[in-house]
Amino acid sequence: MLNNNHIEIIKSTIPLLESAGPALTQHFYQRMFSHNPELKDIFNMTHQKTGRQSVALFEAVAAYAKNIENLGALATAVERIAHKHTSFNIKAEHYQIVGHHLIETLRELAPEAFTKEVEEAWTEAYLFLAQIFIDREEELYQLREKATGGWRGTRRFVVSEKRPESELVMSFVLTPEDGGKVLDYQVGQYLGIQVTPSKADNVEIRQYSLSQAPNGSHYRISVKKEGKGTEQQGLVSHYLHDEVEVGHAVDVLPPAGDFFYQESGKPVVLISAGVGCTPMQAMLQKLAEENKTDPVTYLHACENELQHSFIDEVETIVAAKGWQQNVWYRSPVNLDGSNNSSVGLMDLAQIKDTLPIHFGEFYTCGPVAFMENVVKQLEALGVGRDRIHYEVFGPHANL
Ligand code: FAD
């Protein structure tokens, strides 16, 4: 259990942590993967190459140290991370391995500052936090296992349909091989998909938002071919697009995620860019199914008409319900004015008089730079942060 002495020691090591920066977590990952290569089958190895995962973990460790006296401030982050962990099927025993390499990393990088007392304080602090995650994750695993259509770990699904939604995005309908029901989910949540691409050295797990409302029998995900035509082709997305056909099977982890639509009886604005529109499809469908009577606005930005996914699906719902849709094409192929489209980046000031600025709920998903810009625009218009909800398709970033 953490005592005051431990807390004081943890606080005293914050400057040391900050001076080490993400080099600390980079060292940690290198150490862990060299000693425990089996974990390469769980972690996203591309994120190791890009360094994004090290930055995300460093920020999490630093946030923990800084909030060690006020852990309530971390509740949202803990919930988000616990959900993400379950989509990787992280187990209690993994925490022992991670904890060991974290402590040894601190010892190796700061041998003089890493006294017996510091070791004890960080060990206790780590165990304390690990237990919070282990307990919450176990709770989530059990909830999903016990619910109708639920399961724990991986379950085999067959691709029953593969359909292009735009130039870069392909939908995959996944039906359980065992013919059973599938677990319902909250619209906005994602699945973990576990595959072994032919070009991969390891088993790879990726998250994909569910792109339709729940139906009890199958799931739909919609995947962008990342880095198409470049030297840095996304491993799993290319594999899914190029090699996974109807009839092929993939291993699926149950729906997870703390970003989901919550009914508040208020108008809703769904704001996406690129493939960030996937959770918005699930939300839009669900709102339509539930005959939401408050205004719903669907805002989307993408490169051009060819990269605009779900055009017909959205148009059908929006037209049937009399809801609002606005689209921005950064560089249109040819603009015919359909879908209320404009040229350029999303500019909310253009349509501010049509938005529920003072009481609506705003959900956004897309590249981090896009969402940062959207949040800035919304704040400038007077939307409070508590009404802006967002999902990052990768290692977390605070907007
Ligand atoms: P990776 O191999 O993981 O590469 C990731 C990126 O890094 C690519 O852009 C690639 O071009 C680049 N890259 C590769 N190698 C290097 C290198 N050496 N240096 C620098 N850059 C490099 N994606 C969707 O398409 N649809 C969704 O609905 C969706 N939902 C998501 C929901 C959540 C909650 C999360 C966390 C992610 C979601 N994603 C979604 C993203 C998805 O999980 C994958 O990250 C994405 O498909 C890329 O995986 P990949 O294996 O193809 O690319």
Question: 95 CB less than 6 Å from ligand 1?
Answer: no
* Marked catalytic residue, from 29, 64, 124, 137: 137
| Structural domain boundaries in the chain | 4-146, 155-256, 268-392
Segment 360-394, tens digit of pLDDT:
999 999 999 999 999 999 999 999 999 999 999 98
Q: Does the structure show a pLDDT above 90 at 288?
A: yes
Question: 44 CB less than 6 Å from ligand 1?
Answer: yes
pLDDT value, residue 47: 83
Cα separations in angstroms, 8 against 128, 139, 187: 15, 31, 42
- Say whether 298 is catalytic: no
Please compute, for residue 87, the number of CA atoms within 13 A of its CA located in the half-sphere on the CB side: 22
Ligand 1: which residue has its CA nearest to atom 4? 234
CATH of domain 155-256: 2.40.30.10
Confidence of residue 205 (pLDDT cuts 50, 70, 90): very high
Q: Which residues of 93-111 are buried (b: 16+ CB within 10 A; e: fewer)?
A: ebbeebbbbbbbbbeeebe
pLDDT value, residue 338: 64
**C-alpha to C-alpha distance for 389 and 365, rounded to whole angstroms:** 9
Q: Does the structure show a pLDDT above 90 at 49?
A: no
Question: 224 CB less than 6 Å from ligand 1?
Answer: yes
The tokens for 36 are 């425990």
Q: CATH assignment of 268-392, given 3.40.50.80, 3.40.47.10, 3.50.50.60, 2.60.40.1930?
A: 3.40.50.80
Confidence of residue 336 (pLDDT cuts 50, 70, 90): low
Q: How many Å lie between the centroid of ligand 1 and the Cα of residue 394?
A: 7
Q: Does the structure show a pLDDT above 70 at 337?
A: no
For the chain, give the mean pLDDT: 95
Q: Does the structure show a pLDDT above 90 at 193?
A: yes
Question: 281 CB less than 6 Å from ligand 1?
Answer: no
pTM of the model: 0.95
Ligand 1: which residue has its CA nearest to atom 35? 393
Number of Cβ within a 10 Å radius of residue 216 = 10
Question: 208 CB less than 6 Å from ligand 1?
Answer: yes
pLDDT value, residue 28: 94
Q: How many Å lie between the centroid of ligand 1 and the Cα of residue 274?
A: 13
pLDDT value, residue 52: 82
Q: Which residues of 182-191 are buried (b: 16+ CB within 10 A; e: fewer)?
A: bbbbbbbbbb
Residue 40 near residue 201 (C-beta atoms within 8 A) = yes
pLDDT value, residue 53: 84
**C-alpha to C-alpha distance for 235 and 202, rounded to whole angstroms:** 11
Average pLDDT over residues 246-254: 98
**C-alpha to C-alpha distance for 237 and 170, rounded to whole angstroms:** 9
- Say whether 95 is catalytic: yes
Fold of 4-146: Globin-like (1.10.490)
* Marked catalytic residue, from 95, 185, 219, 298: 95
Looking at the chain, the whole-number percentage of residues with pLDDT higher than 90 is 85
Q: Does the structure show a pLDDT above 90 at 81?
A: yes
Ligand 1: which residue has its CA nearest to atom 15? 232
Residue 329 near residue 304 (C-beta atoms within 8 A) = yes
Q: Does the structure show a pLDDT above 70 at 141?
A: yes
**C-alpha to C-alpha distance for 149 and 216, rounded to whole angstroms:** 7
Question: 272 CB less than 6 Å from ligand 1?
Answer: no
Q: How many Å lie between the centroid of ligand 1 and the Cα of residue 176?
A: 24
Q: How many Å lie between the centroid of ligand 1 and the Cα of residue 226?
A: 6
Please compute, for residue 285, the number of CA atoms within 13 A of its CA located in the half-sphere on the CB side: 19
Q: Does the structure show a pLDDT above 70 at 31?
A: yes
